[in-house]
Amino acid sequence: MKIQITLKDPDGFYEAIREAAKKQVAEIPGLDQYEKDEIADHRHEEIAEYLKRWVQYGEYITIEFDLEEANATVKKQP
């Protein structure tokens, strides 16, 4: 049997993407804080755009659980 569950977490996706972008930028030597913030903003946008395949409206994700095969799959958004 397969079941699908849709989860909504608007702040979770935003904050996780933001944290990942800032972490990447923090490792770049020789930048001042303004430059780091600008690059982090750009990377945040890029990551959010990429995740649109699975995350709808920046807050919805659907997971399909196959109870017979004992696995889970994140479904692509229409």
* Mean pLDDT, the chain, whole residue set: 95
Query: How confident is the model over 21-38, as a mean pLDDT?
Result: 94
Overall pTM > 0.85 = no
Query: How confident is the model over 10-38, as a mean pLDDT?
Result: 94
Q: Of 77, 76, 75, 78, which is closest to residue 3 (Cα–Cα)?
A: 75
- Give the confidence band of 27 by pLDDT, cuts at 50, 70, 90: confident
Cross-strand pairs, 56:
60
Do residues 51 and 57 touch, judged by C-beta distance below 8 A?
A: no
Question: Range of 45's domain?
Answer: 2-74
